[in-house]
Amino acid sequence: MLTYSILTALLAFALVCYAIRKIIYVSHKKHLFDEPSELRKVHITRTPNLGGVAIFSSMLISVCFFMPHTGIDRQNYILAGSIVIFFLGLTDDLVGMNPNKKILGQLVAALILVLPGGLHFTSWQGFLGWGEMPYWVGIITSVLFILLVTNAFNLIDGINCLAGSIGLLVCICFACLFWQLHLTGYYFLAIALCGCLSGFLVYNRTPARIFMGDTGALLLGFMLSVFSIVFIESGKPGTLNAVPVKGAPVIVLGLLIIPIYDTLRVFLLRLFQGKLPFSADRSHLHHRLIDLGLSHLQAVGVLLLVNTIIGWFVLAFQELPMESRIFGVIAFSLLMNWILGRVHGRRTSRWRKANEEVLDALRRNDKRGNTVLRMPKKAATFPE
C-alpha cells in the first residue's frame, strides 16, 4: 500500500509539472493571462491563471491508475460534480462569469452529489445532545456546507501559495484519516491531490509563473468538501472503522478553519458596510498581513501556522467534549483576529499621520511661493 501511495503521489506530481509547463507556453502564445487590473490584486505582471486545468487533469489520470483496484463510493457523482465545477471555473478564468450564475452552477454540482449521490449529513453526532438529523435538514446543511467550502478556497486564493499550501495541509490530514478508517479509495484520491498541489506550488512561488485560478480553487474547495462529508459520515458513532473518531465535525472545522473563518468574516464585514457578500475588496486576512509589510511567503507561513495549531488541537484533544473543542477553536480564531486587527490599526494610524504631515508640509511650502510637486489626495494612499 505504501509503495502504491508513493507512486500515485509521484505520478501526480510529475504530470502536473509537465502540464503546467505546457499551459504556461500556450498561455503566452494565446495571451491567456490574469491581468493586474484591480486594486485588490497584489500581482503586478500578467500571469497565466489556468493552473487548475493541470491540477484537474493530473488528478484524474493519477486516480485512474488505482480506481479499478480500490474503487470509490459514489465515484460517478463525484466526477460529475467535479466536471461541472471545472467548467464553471474555466469559464470564469477565460471570459469571466456573473457571480449569481457561478453560484447557480455550484448549486447544481452540490445537488448532484447530495441528491442522486446520497452524500449528505445524517447526524449531529451528539452536538448539544442532538442525535439523528432529519433528512431534509441533512440535505440543506450539506448543500450549504459544499457551497461554503468551495467558495472559501476560491476567496483565499489571493496571494501566491496560500490556497495551495492550506489545501495541501488539509489533504495530508485527510489522507491519514482515511487510512485509519480504511477508506482506501478516498485515501488514494487525497494522495493524488497532494501530489498535484505539491507540483503546482513549485510554479506558484513568488514570483509566480502561474495561478490556479477559479478552475483550481473551486475544484480544490469542492473536493475538500467531499472529503469532509465522507469523513464525518464514516467517523460517526456506530460506523465500522479501524480507529474510533470522536467529534468528526470539530476535526473538519479545525482543519478548514482559515478558509471558513476568513470567508464568514469578510461576508459579515461587507454586509455591515452595506456591500454585497461577493463584492471584491482588500479585507481578507492575507491582505491585512500583506499590508503590514509581510511578503507572500511570510503571510502564507503565518496563516499556515495558525491552521496547523488549530488542526493539531482538534486532533490531539479528542477526549474533550465536542462543545469544548468548538469553543476553543472559535476563541483562538477570534484572539488571532483581534491581535491582527490591533497591529493593523496601529500601522494604518501611523501611515495616516505620516501622509497628513507630508501633505501639510507641501501646503505650507506652496503658500510661501515655493515650487513644490503637487500631490493629489489620491496619491497619498494607505491600506484600508
What average pLDDT does the segment 156-177 reach? 94
pLDDT tens digits, 26-72: 999 988 887 666 555 555 578 899 999 999 999 999 988 776 566 78
Residue 240 clears pLDDT 50, i.e. is over it = yes
pLDDT band at 341; cut points 50, 70, 90 = confident
The average confidence (pLDDT) of the chain is: 85
Per-residue confidence (pLDDT) for residue 298, from 0 to 100: 93
List the chain domain ranges: 2-244
Per-residue confidence (pLDDT) for residue 312, from 0 to 100: 93
Supply angle C-alpha 32, 162, 220, rounded to 5.
70
Question: Are residues 32 and 26 in contact, defined by beta-carbon separation less than 8 angstroms?
Answer: yes
What average pLDDT does the segment 253-265 reach? 94
What average pLDDT does the segment 313-323 reach? 86
What average pLDDT does the segment 250-269 reach? 93
Q: Could you tell me the three cell numbers for 304? A: 499556515
Residue 384 clears pLDDT 50, i.e. is over it = no
Per-residue confidence (pLDDT) for residue 365, from 0 to 100: 64
Per-residue confidence (pLDDT) for residue 236, from 0 to 100: 67
Determine whether 202 is exposed, middle or buried from the number of CB atoms within 10 Å of its CB (0-12, 13-18, 19+). Answer: middle
pLDDT tens digits, 92-130: 999 989 889 999 999 999 999 999 999 999 887 766 667
What average pLDDT does the segment 322-338 reach? 88
Residue 344 clears pLDDT 60, i.e. is over it = yes
Per-residue confidence (pLDDT) for residue 381, from 0 to 100: 42
> What pTM value is reported for the model?
0.86
CB atoms near residue 49 (< 10 Å):
26
pLDDT band at 362; cut points 50, 70, 90 = low
Q: Select, from the ranges 129-133, 327-331, 337-341, the one with the highest average predicted confidence (pLDDT).
A: 327-331
